[in-house]
Structure 1
Amino acid sequence: MNPSATGWIDKFGSEVKDHLEYYPDFRSLYGDLKKIGFVYGINIRIPRFIRTEHTLSEDEKAKINLLTALYFTHRLERKEQNFKAFLEEIFQFYQSLKINQISFLSSLFVGKKTSSQLEKLIDSRVYLEDNVISKTFNSTITNSLLFIDVLLFKKYLDQPHADSYAYAQLLEYIAINITYHALNSKEKNRSDEKLAQLFAASLTFIDSNSEHFDGSYREKLLENHSVWENSYFLDVACLTVWEDHSLEYKESEFIFGIGKDLGFDHVEITRALDEIAYFFEKNGETIPFLKDQNLALQFYESMSKVVNKLILRNSKRLQKELSESRELVALISKSAVKDLSPEERKKMQNQLIDIFKSIPSLAIFILPGGAVLLPIFIKLIPKLLPSAFDDNRVKK
């Protein structure tokens, strides 16, 4: 599966059908999403049942984790195994949040297929910026409040006629206030500022201006009775105070005060702190917003990652295509002396078609500006490239 190429949601649907009972309840889903970092907004890895051929970037992990969370939330709430039914309902959900608009130009490349449109929507939810230049210069481009989408979808499935947009504003308001007041409960450092900027940049439904930062959020916490929303708010608070690997008395007082307002006892709050401490101990060196780099170094590192990813992935694909071509030569040689079996004839036919497909793609690539034109042609004609280049091809 390749979340940066078209067809990855259909590929996900073909793989998840063999793992429908992977998460027996929402508690197990939430626990695993926290271990892999999705709840914290820091995507370290993806669920173990999902197979990928390449090393994934953080935004690609975020895409897979978001889709996994949304799918299994739907599966647990609806007891539904039909992946197409999930796609239709998640599309309606994003429509209720007023973030399902796809431009006319985008629709030319995406088409009318629900899964293709959902790929575009998930892209818009995962990336903080829609500007290639800003993506290149920023080491962190992934939305850190994506788990709010999951909480909103769970609420939507329970109460489809409720005002989803107003509820989204409420959850974001509480989350950003918890972050703001948690940071004010400690002595700030540079990492704190980066974390605050990251959360502020991730807001979708409210503006990150000062008028939202007041004490009334504590009243709204007392009114909230959803255990999983409260668990998320507690984890956000723990993330905010623990990123510097210490917990001072004042911070502890704030955390245990928030935890009490959310309805948790001392043991549950301590467990949440222990889990975030373990997460940072295990993954601290790979968390992007903790890296203190100047602009030039960020640019170099971002470009290096892109180039390395392209070289690594395409070298594997070329190697695969060439190995298939060697097999084709063997089959042609064999056909000169004896008849091939139906399976061998079918294999030879498919490999010949693959080679013929590679000719127009190579011709486009060597044209002036071909490196820019080729991705556009691939969007318009997804099967232009050989099968070795299509990570999301679903075997019939």
Structure 2
Amino acid sequence: MNPSSSGWIAKFLKDIDLDPTIANASLDNLYPQLKKTGFIYGNSIDALLIPNTKLSYSQEEKTKINLLIALRAAYLDAIENATNEDFIEALLEFYKYLDSKKSYFSFLSLPTNSYDKLEKAIHARIQTNESIFKKNFSHLLTNALLFIDVLAFEYYLVYDNNPFQYASLFEESITNTVFLALNSKQEKNEYDQLLVKLFASSVRYTKVSSEGEASFDHLELQKFKDPLEKQYILDLTSMAVWNDERLDQGEIDFVQALGAELQMQKEAVTTSINEVHDFIDTYKDEITFFKYSNPAQHFYNQTSRTVRLLILRNRKRLIREITESKDLMILLGQSTVRELSAEEKQRVKNQLLDICKSIPSLAIFILPGGGILLPLLIKFIPQLLPSAFNENK
């Protein structure tokens, strides 16, 4: 079974059925194991099940395996006496809901078999690993958000509702929580401040619009009542605040306050912090991001170079698309002399994402976590436009 070749899902589901410890495990029971593999933290160092030990699987292939196992566990938790075929069809319908504008998973409507469609869908969820994003923080963040798929799938099955709004709210809440966590550091150096600024610029389009007003009150964490939802938010935040092999008192106070806000026991908060520390301490030599003494600097420099390269490669088409959007041009021009309102910022974001969807090379901006890169896109846009556009600056 090779997760990079066609037909792997059908073969792997048979392997799962032969292993009762995986086949019959609930999602709650699998979650601690998913943390140990690194899947929850965005780096699958291992997989929950590797049927052929003679093969050497890449991190991307292990991520595919862990994602499929977690999705299957969520399905069996919600649906009794279901078959693998039922699971495949339900998962395809779920991904169609997430792709509300029929662009990211457009292949789902093509006349081919269900297993092939699902393989392409799962591949699309982690395709950033094959690009210049490989082994940097954006890759870590994007794959750390993959568990949202699992929780949204469970929500879809239990409540029989369109999961798009749930997934969007969850991603927004986690992104904003990470921003607050990064901002909680007592002493910020130059690159800590750059990273906080980048997150702040990204989340301004949502409910946390500035550092001054950012607080737990804007996160609406009370909407997440399931223990697994709470644990995931806590674990991802504990991972996010790690950047120098230690937590200062401000970061510790923040994580503890987050645990209290989520109505979790203090022991659970301590355990979450310790598990992140143990994972990083064990595998930091295998994860490029954690090798850097200042990952914030690495993240900012790497993503800036990446976005700039993508913009330059698509310069002509990007200029044409932007200039044809009169509303966007007006708002971008006004943003150089005044602060845009929350509604105007949302319009800028939506129109930029629509443009990115029309240019395949810019598809990274519509992936999970891609919203964090939008401020960098906006930063480089003025360099593309006529000089008259910059007169206000």
**Which TM-score bucket, shorter chain as reference?**
0.5 to 0.7
Matches for 1:1-396 after TM superposition, within 5 Å? 1-22=1-22, 23-48=24-49, 50-98=51-99, 101=102, 112-128=112-128, 135-136=131-132, 138-140=134-136, 141=139, 143-160=143-160, 162-186=161-185, 187-188=187-188, 208-212=202-206, 213=208, 214-215=214-215, 220-292=220-292
Structure 2 gaps of 5+ residues are 209-213, 303-393
CA distances 1:106-126 after superposition (whole Å, capped 9, x unpaired): 689x85100100111111111
Q: Distance in 1 between matches of 2:87 and 2:65?
A: 15
Aligned CA-pair RMSD: 3.3
Report deviation, 1:209. Answer: 4.4
Alpha-carbon contact 2:15-2:51 (below 8 Å) kept: yes
Amino acid at match of 2:227: V
**Identical columns (%):** 32
Give the match for residue 367 of structure 1: none
Distance 1:104 1:153, change over 3 A: closer
SS at match of 2:144: coil
Distance, in Å, in 1 between the alignment partners of 2:81 and 2:151 is 18
CA distance in 1, matches of 2:104, 2:234: 38
Determine which structure has more spread, i.e. the larger CA radius of gyration. 1
Query: What SS does structure 2 have at the residue aligned with 1:285?
Result: coil
Offset from partner CA, 1:288-332 (integer Å, 9 cap, x none)? 32244999xx9xxxxxxxxxxxxxxxxxxxxxxxxxxxxxxxxxx
Match for 1:139: what amino acid? K
TM superposition shift of 1:53: 3.6
How far residue 77 of structure 1 moved from its aligned partner, in angstroms, is 2.1
Hey, what's the Cα distance between the residues in 2 that align with 1:239 and 1:196? 15
Contact map agreement 2:71 2:150 (CA 8 A) in 1: yes
Using a 3 Å threshold, how does the CA distance of structure 1 residues 4 and 219 change in structure 2: closer, same or farther?
closer
Residues 7 and 195 (structure 1), Cα distance of their counterparts in 2 relative to 1, 3 Å cut: farther
- Relative to the length of structure 2, the TM-score reads 0.64
- For the 8 Å contact 2:75–2:157, the answer to whether it is kept is yes
- Aligned to 1:64, the other structure's residue is in SS state helix
For 1:389, the equivalent position in structure 2 comes to none
Residue 196 of structure 1, CA deviation:
7.9
Displacement of 1:89? 0.6
Contact 1:177–1:217 (8 Å) recurs in 2: no
Higher relative contact order (CA 8 A, sep 6+): 1
Residue equivalent to 2:308: none
Distance in structure 2 (CA, Å) of the matches to 1:195 and 1:150: 28
Does the CA contact (< 8 Å) of 1:194 and 1:289 recur in 2? no
State whether residues 191 and 290 of structure 1, in contact with CA within 8 Å, keep that contact through their aligned partners in structure 2. no
User: Secondary structure of the residue that 1:264 maps to in structure 2?
Assistant: coil
Instruction: State how many pairs are aligned.
Output: 283
CA pair 243-51 structure 1, distance change in 2 beyond 3 A: farther
* Alpha-carbon offset, residue 241 of structure 1: 1.7
CA contact (8 A) 1:26 1:76 kept: yes
Deviation at 1:82, TM superposition (A): 1.3
Question: How many angstroms does 1:61 deviate by?
Answer: 1.4
Quote how far apart the aligned CAs of 1:218 are.
Answer: 5.0
Q: Which residue pairs with 1:303 in the alignment?
A: none
C-alpha contact 1:100 1:121 (8 A) present in aligned 2 = no
What is the CA-CA distance between 1:49 and the residue it aligns to?
5.1
Amino acid at match of 2:85: K
For residues 232 and 191 of structure 1, the distance between their equivalents in structure 2, rounded to whole angstroms, comes to 27
Residues 247 and 290 (structure 1 numbering): CA distance in 2 closer, same or farther, change over 3 Å? same
Give the TM-score normalised by the residue count of structure 1.
Answer: 0.63
Distance of aligned partners of 1:267 and 1:105 in 2 relative to their CA distance in 1, 3 Å threshold: closer
CA distance in 1, matches of 2:27, 2:65: 18
Moved more, 95-104 or 17-26: 95-104
* SS at 1:41 equivalent: coil
**Contact 1:179/1:196 (8 A) holds in 2:** no
Q: Kindly tell me: are residues 105 and 225 of structure 1, through their superposed partners in 2, closer, same or farther at Cα, counting changes over 3 Å?
A: closer
What SS does structure 1 have at the residue aligned with 2:285? helix
